[in-house]
Amino acid sequence: MDKKEIFSKIKNKKKIILLLIVLIIAFIGLYIYTREGESKEVVLYGNVDIRQVSLSFNASERIDIMYVEEGDTVKKGQLLASLDTENLLLQIEKSKAKIEAQKYVVLRLKNGTRPKEISQQLSKLNAAKAEAENARILLQRVQSAHAASDGLSVSKQEIDDARSRVKVTSAQVKEANDAYQLSAAGPRKEDIAEAEAELKAAMAELAIQEYQLSQAELRSPVDGVVRSRLQEPGDMASPQRATYLLALNEKKWIRAYIQETQLEIVKPGMEVDIYIDGYSDSPIKGQVGYISSVAEFTPKTVQTEELRTSLLYEIRVYVDDNKDVLRMGMPATIKIPRPVDPVTGSLNTKEQFL
């Protein structure tokens, strides 16, 4: 073997060794890059969502005064607006007067007839009896005179008039006697019951009017912030038209979307960190409270491998915003830690996690 062949083989071996070294270095670099690029947490991006309530009056009347503006913080029970109640107040005064009068009617019926009234009816009865007795005596005298004079001194017309007078006075005695008996017996139970029923109806009408008066004030049902002032003084309020839109200070949440391949990482109840602009150094603690069972953005019937791995599912992370820094629609970043193998200390794969 000559020198040229020896040098050629040595040169080829060097190339092979150099190529192997390059491949080893590339493999090591790729491994390091892959290990370093494998994040220890899942990062999601979402927006703050807040419960809202539309407040409207439970009565139809013109708005008189509005006490709060957009952006104002309100407390539970705080007065927000009131209606014009002048007409309603007049109706209430009228109902109160009606009730007062009806109370006296009931009291009068329950107390019965006064003794003086009974005595007055008795006097009328005695007077009617005396008048009837006088008419009877007069009739007897006319009849006697007619018989004694054979009709010459007293005519038949005078006798008829005397008889009519007896009938009239007898009827007056009966009428006076009935009036006396009614006065002595007092009011009927049915009359008392009717008067009491009318009193209850008047009191119920007053209660309705007082309830309507209470509904003329719009108060906040919870603590919150006024988002929108939808009406102004002078507008006609109604139950169908909202006056204020209130953002509640109760539990807020972050609405985000997660890929199908990351579903195994997120579990209901797990704690996560939430970052918002301006507070990046101090994360807000949150808790996963809802994971949608329905995919978003792609038809449910699509079953290709490419699209199945790109399906997104809605999740909600609930936050106790004690410092009240979260606002409706504010962008937020959610960081969810990946599971770590307790033995190797490496991040679990999908197969290991399942």
Mean pLDDT of 50-76: 91
Greatest mean pLDDT range, 25-29, 120-124, 225-229, 318-322: 225-229
Decide which of 284 and 352 is more confident. 284
* Closest to 326 (Cα-Cα) out of 237, 246, 254: 254
Mean pLDDT of all residues belonging to the chain = 80
Residue-wise pLDDT tens digits, 133-160: 888 888 888 788 777 776 666 777 877 8
* Closest to 288 (Cα-Cα) out of 262, 237, 253, 263: 253
* Closest to 230 (Cα-Cα) out of 79, 59, 100, 56: 56
12 has pLDDT over 80: no
Instruction: Tell me the pLDDT band of 352, cut-offs 50, 70 and 90.
Output: very low
345 has pLDDT over 60: no
Six-digit token string for 205: 């009408």
Q: How many CB atoms lie within 10 A of CB 235?
A: 13
3-state secondary structure string across the chain: CCHHHHHHHHHHHHHHHHHHHHHHHHHHHHHHHHHHHCCCEEEEEEEEECCEEEECCCCCEEEEEECCCCCCEECCCCEEEEECCHHHHHHHHHHHHHHHHHHHHHHHHHHCCCHHHHHHHHHHHHHHHHHHHHHHHHHHHHHHHHHHCCCCCCCHHHHHHHHHHHHHHHHHHHHHHHHHHHHHHCCCHHHHHHHHHHHHHHHHHHHHHHHHHHCCEEECCCCEEEEEECCCCCCEEECCECCEEEEECCCEEEEEEEEHHHCCCCCCCCEEEEECCCCCCCCEEEEEEEEEEEEECCCCCCCCHHHHCCCEEEEEEEECCCCCCCCCCCEEEEEEECCECCCCCCECCHHHHC
Residue-wise pLDDT tens digits, 194-216: 899 999 999 999 999 999 999 99
pLDDT the model gives residue 293 = 82
pLDDT the model gives residue 29 = 60
pLDDT the model gives residue 9 = 64
pLDDT the model gives residue 59 = 87
Measure CA 266 to chain center.
37
pLDDT the model gives residue 83 = 95
Residue with tokens 């007067």: 97
pLDDT the model gives residue 236 = 94
Greatest mean pLDDT range, 119-123, 130-134, 232-236: 232-236
Six-digit token string for 279: 């507070």
pLDDT the model gives residue 340 = 57
163 has pLDDT over 60: yes
Instruction: Tell me the pLDDT band of 265, cut-offs 50, 70 and 90.
Output: confident
pLDDT the model gives residue 62 = 94
Mean pLDDT of 45-66: 90
Residue-wise pLDDT tens digits, 233-254: 999 999 999 999 998 877 788 8
88 has pLDDT over 50: yes
* Closest to 244 (Cα-Cα) out of 74, 86, 47: 74
Decide which of 60 and 340 is more confident. 60
Instruction: Tell me the pLDDT band of 93, cut-offs 50, 70 and 90.
Output: very high
Residue-wise pLDDT tens digits, 15-28: 677 777 777 777 66
Residue-wise pLDDT tens digits, 168-190: 888 988 888 888 777 777 778 88
